[in-house]
Amino acid sequence: MNVAAGENILEMQNITKTFPGVKALTDVTLEVRRGEIHAICGENGAGKSTLMKVLSGVYPHGTYDGKILFDGQEVSFSSINDSEDKGIVIIHQELALIPHLSIAENMYLGNERRGRAGLIDWHQTNAEARALMQRVGLKEQPITKIGHIGVGKQQLVEIAKALSKDVKLLILDEPTAALNDTDSEHLLGLLRELNDSGVTCIIISHKLNEIANIADRTTIIRDGQTIETLDMSDPGSNQDRIIRGMVGRDLEHRYPERTPDIGEEILRVEGWTVNHPTQADRRVIEDASFTVHAGEVVGIAGLMGAGRTELAMSIFGRSWGRYVAGETFIHGKKVTMRSVDDAIEAGLAYATEDRKRYGLNLIDDIRHNTSAAALDKISSNGWVNGLEELKRANDYRKSLNTKTPSVLSLVGKLSGGNQQKVVLAKWLMSEPEVLILDEPTRGIDVGAKYEIYTIINRMVASGKGVLVISSELPELLGICDRIYTLAFGRITGEVPVADATQERLMALMTMEKETAR
Helix axes 151-163, 122-136, angle to 10 degrees: 110
Report whether pLDDT(89) > 70. yes
Q: Which residues of 384-395 are buried (b: 16+ CB within 10 A; e: fewer)?
A: eeeeebbebbbe
Report whether pLDDT(390) > 50. yes
The helix or strand, by DSSP H or E, that contains position 513, with its residue range, turns out to be none
Q: Cα torsion at 337, 343, 345, 348 (round to 10°)?
A: 140
At 117, is the pLDDT very low, low, confident or very high (cuts 50, 70, 90)? confident
- DSSP calls for 300-347: EEE-TTSSHHHHHHHHTTT-SSEEEEEEEEETTEEE---SHHHHHHHT
| Domain architecture of the chain: domains with CATH | 1-87+168-252 (3.40.50.300), 99-165 (no CATH), 261-347+434-517 (3.40.50.300), 362-431 (no CATH)
User: Which tens digit of pLDDT belongs to each residue from 173-223?
Assistant: 888 876 767 778 888 888 898 899 899 999 998 788 888 889 999 999 988
Phi, psi of 388 (to 5 degrees): -65, -40
Distance CA 170, CA 255 (A): 34
Distance CA 366, CA 195 (A): 42
Distance CA 424, CA 396 (A): 9
Closest CA to 217 of 194, 234, 241: 234
pLDDT, position 365: 95
At 516, is the pLDDT very low, low, confident or very high (cuts 50, 70, 90)? very low
Distance CA 476, CA 454 (A): 14
pLDDT, position 159: 87
Residues in the chain: 517
For the beta carbon of residue 184, count every other beta carbon within 10 angstroms. Answer: 18
pTM: 0.67
DSSP state of 123: H
At 376, is the pLDDT very low, low, confident or very high (cuts 50, 70, 90)? very high
Hey, which of 177-181, 189-193, 376-380, 463-467 has the most confident mean pLDDT? 463-467
How far apart, in Å, are the Cα atoms of 250 and each of 244, 406, 447? Answer: 5, 29, 10
